[in-house]
Amino acid sequence: MRHLAFVLATVTALTAGCSRKKAEPEGFPAGADLQASGDLPPPPAVGPGALGDQGGGGMGGMPPATGNVPDDDVHAGVRAGGGGMGGGGGGVDVAAMGMASPDPNKPIDPSKFVRGQIQPSAELAAKIPSGAVIYVSVKTADPKTGEGVGMPVATLKLTSGTWPLPFELTERNMMTADSNFSGDVVVTARYAQNPDPLMKQPGDVVGKVRTTIPSDKLAITLDSVLP
Give the CATH number for residue 187.
2.60.40
Contacts of 30 (CB under 8 A, 6+ apart): 20, 21, 24
Q: Residue 147 forms beta bridges with which residues?
A: none
User: Is residue 51 one of the residues assigned to a domain?
Assistant: no
Tens digit of each residue's pLDDT (9 = 90 or more) over 62-100: 444 333 333 322 222 233 333 333 345 555 666 666 667
Residue type, 217: K
Tens digit of each residue's pLDDT (9 = 90 or more) over 105-164: 899 999 999 999 999 999 999 999 999 999 999 999 999 999 999 999 999 999 999 999
pTM for this entry: 0.60
CB 222: neighbour CB atoms within 10 A?
A: 25
User: Is residue 187 one of the residues assigned to a domain?
Assistant: yes
For residue 221, what pLDDT is reported? 98
Q: Are the CB atoms for 157 and 91 separated by under 8 Å? A: yes
> Is the per-residue pLDDT at 180 higher than 60?
yes
Cα separation, 151 vs 99, whole angstroms: 12
**What average pLDDT does the chain have?**
73
What is the pLDDT confidence band of residue 207, given thresholds at 50, 70 and 90?
very high
User: Is residue 137 one of the residues assigned to a domain?
Assistant: yes
User: Is residue 107 one of the residues assigned to a domain?
Assistant: no
Q: Are the CB atoms for 129 and 159 separated by under 8 Å? A: no
Cα separation, 1 vs 170, whole angstroms: 124
User: Is residue 194 one of the residues assigned to a domain?
Assistant: yes
- The boundaries of the domain holding residue 127 are 113-225
> Is the per-residue pLDDT at 60 higher than 80?
no
